[in-house]
Each structure stands twice: as structure tokens, then as C-alpha cells.
Structure 1
């Protein structure tokens, strides 16, 4: 924890110094950073009340009242009594206020452009994605549901995807299930076999990504006798219990039904409790269990089947 605290403190010092946020006034304008932030929020949310601004920005009511009075005296805002409650005023930007805000935003955009000019497109993407993640993780209403709303889904593989999927399997199964590195070799072999016999018509793989990074996957492989095998179902721990796994599993089973497979099966081990619960909820039934020594563990390899004829 101490290392994380030190890193956050260091980042905060770097961030404020690098962007010049310690200056008394921002962008050579008439207002301080805090005042400009209030002006910006009024412009974004107008009409807005003082109470809403207080809650949104976490400001002292007395301090905000002074700022609102100053804005009113400067002619940058208008205050209109609420029809429901004359004690409440709806705040909007005046024409001068809107013009000032556009000027401040223009200057800010120019500053940011200068920062981005030093970066390649890949570096700019990395910066923006990292900032988005910081914003999400530190938001007042943070839960992993906040992150999951920005998850994107795609079908098929791009160069580098398989390598990253092997990495995810190796890291997560070692950390969570105690599997040895032999498991990673097994995953390498299964992906090699998949690519070697890939049938674009019946074999499918779906990926979930956050900030263009893979955080979940699932695949369906066609098998003889009109069967399909579900493979490589994985969701990064941060994104579990958010609906990502449910979305992937639904896409896979919908494909199986569209292809009119009679049965879909999967092989797993008894330690994958959460995944097994999802399989059972989707209608899979256990059909075989074998105790074996592999990947540095004593495991029960289990087979689950879903008869699609009976479930259609």
C-alpha cells in the first residue's frame, strides 16, 4: 500500500506541475482555475442551481455563493427565479459568459494540442486511455460497472490477439488457480490447433475489450457429429459480475443455435466455480468427471453438455 500511495502522490505532483495547474490564474484569463471550473460546469449543465453545483463540485456553499455573486456582477451569468420555488435560481451563462468560456476552451485546446504534438498516435492513444481509466477509477460513483459500460465487443482475431490471450490465460490461471507454467504451454498448443484448422464459417471467437485491450474472450469450435465445443471462456477479474461474461456466453450460444448444432460441450475443472455456475444457469449439465494430476494440481476435469435440440 505504501508504494501505491507514493506513486499516486508522485503522479499528482507531476500532473499539476506539468499542466500548470498551480498557477494562480488559468490561461491568462480573469479567473482562477477553480472559478473557471465553475464557469465550465455552468456552461455544460445550464440551467443549473447553486445547490446542484455545490453537490457536483463538492464546494462550500459560502464559497460558491461568493463566486456566483462575482460572476453576476461581472455579467457572465444570468440568474432566473424558479417557477416552483422563488428562493431557487436557475443559473445560465450570459452572452458575454458564453464568449468567455469559448475563449478559455480555445486556449485550453491549444495547450493540449502542444502536448499531443510531441506524441505519436499510439502514444496519444495510450495517454488518453490511461486518463480515461484514472477518471473512471477515481469517480465518486465508481464500481466496476462504470468500467464495463465502456467495454466494446468484436468478433474475430486481429494480429497479436492470440499472443495476448495466451498471456491472460497464463497469468490469471496461475494467480487464481495455482496452475503451473505447463498450463500456459497447453493453451499455446490449443490455440495453435485452432488456427491450423480454423473454419471461418463455423469456428468463431468473440473478444471483449476495454481501452482497446482484451479483457474477455470466448470461442466456439465445430466438431464432428454436429457438435460444437465452447473454449477459452475468460473474463478479467476487474470486469467480472458486470455482465461481460454473460454477453460473451450469450453470443456464443446464439451462434451455436444459428448454426443448428445439436449439442455444445465444454471441458473445465472443478476449481472454476464461477464459470461453472454460469454454465449451469445457461442450461449445461455435467456429463463426466475424471480426477487427474496436471498443471501442478490434483484436479477433476469435468465435461458439461447443452443439448440444443431440447433447448430450442
Structure 2
């Protein structure tokens, strides 16, 4: 996926992101229909309130087709949060996730954040392996029932 480009998120990408999160998480994880509205509310908040100096979203695309996303949002002035990291199945395992993660953490570092955190699920083995290989540290893991399924929630962080 060397020829894929990373471009800034635009508000007209939101519907695609909500749809992809809903479809892929239902198919791959068995999530119920409460997940897509959560993604929509995260994006609505980002569109309405993000500070472009401290927060940013990227869309990966190739030949005009969207392939994935990643977002950096502020928790506070010292901590950024990685959100909405997604790759469509055909774009997985080709290095594009690593490019997105590197762009996001480089932005957070450049914006002056001291650390970055994220929340995910243990079942996302490829993403978790990428986080670990990139220097992220698993800080918490717990069993939960969310989005209609039993999951193991994970929290990760990295010092920037």
C-alpha cells in the first residue's frame, strides 16, 4: 500500500466511517447496533469542537477509495488519545496501519503532548501487536460486556 495516501479527514468522510465501523464490527466482532451511533457521536464532537492545532484525523485512500482512518484528540494538554483506527480488510497487513499510527503519533509529539493513550479490545490482535512493536505499553485489561458481546477491554499508552 505504498501508493496509498494519507489525507486530512473531512466532515464528508463521517458517514463512510460510521458505516464501516458499524459493518466491520458487526461482521468481525458480533457488535450490536449500538456501536455505530457511538462512532457517529465521536465524529460529531470532533467536527464541532476539534482544535486543529491539537487534534487531527487522517483518511487513508488509494485511487479515491477510502481504506482507513486514525484520529488524534486531546484528553488534556499533556495527553492525546488515539481514536477510530480502522482499516478495511483489503488494506490490512500491508503496512498502511503502521503508516497511519506513525502519522498520528508524530502529530501528537509535534503538538507537544507528553503521552498518548488508546482504548481497544484484546480481539484486535494485529492492532495490539502493532502497538506493542511501536513502543506502546498495555496498562489495563478487563473483561466487560459492551455492544452486546463479552469483550476484554484494553488500555494502552506511550510516552512521546
Partner of 1:220: 72
Please report how far the alpha carbon of residue 174 of structure 1 lies from its aligned counterpart in structure 2 after TM superposition: 1.0
1:269 aligned to which of 95, 115, 121: 121
Please report how far the alpha carbon of residue 185 of structure 1 lies from its aligned counterpart in structure 2 after TM superposition: 1.5
Partner of 1:175: 27
Partner of 2:84: 232
5+ residue gaps, structure 2: none
| More strand per residue | 2
Label 1:296 to 1:150 Cα distance change in 2 as closer, same or farther (>3 A): same
Please report how far the alpha carbon of residue 249 of structure 1 lies from its aligned counterpart in structure 2 after TM superposition: 0.7
Counterpart-to-counterpart distance in 2, 1:275 and 1:260: 25
- Deviating 4+ runs (over 2 angstroms): none
**Per-residue Cα deviation, 1:67-109 (whole angstroms, up to 9, x for no partner):** xxxxxxxxxxxxxxxxxxxxxxxxxxxxxxxxxxxxxxxxxxx
Other structure's SS at 2:51 match: coil
Partner of 2:7: 154
**Per-residue Cα deviation, 1:130-174 (whole angstroms, up to 9, x for no partner):** xxxxxxxxxxxxxxxxxx2442221231x4201111111111111
Please report how far the alpha carbon of residue 225 of structure 1 lies from its aligned counterpart in structure 2 after TM superposition: 4.3
Q: Mapping of 1:1-312 within 5 angstroms?
A: 148-157=1-10, 159-308=11-160
Partner of 1:142: none
Counterpart-to-counterpart distance in 2, 1:225 and 1:160: 28
2:136 and 2:157 in contact (8 A); partners too: yes
| Residues paired across the two proteins, number | 160
Please report how far the alpha carbon of residue 247 of structure 1 lies from its aligned counterpart in structure 2 after TM superposition: 0.8
**Per-residue Cα deviation, 1:33-69 (whole angstroms, up to 9, x for no partner):** xxxxxxxxxxxxxxxxxxxxxxxxxxxxxxxxxxxxx
Counterpart-to-counterpart distance in 2, 1:180 and 1:256: 32
Counterpart-to-counterpart distance in 2, 1:225 and 1:198: 13
Please report how far the alpha carbon of residue 286 of structure 1 lies from its aligned counterpart in structure 2 after TM superposition: 1.0
Label 1:225 to 1:154 Cα distance change in 2 as closer, same or farther (>3 A): closer
Other structure's SS at 1:185 match: helix
| More helix per residue | 1
Counterpart-to-counterpart distance in 2, 1:302 and 1:280: 12
5+ residue gaps, structure 1: 1-147
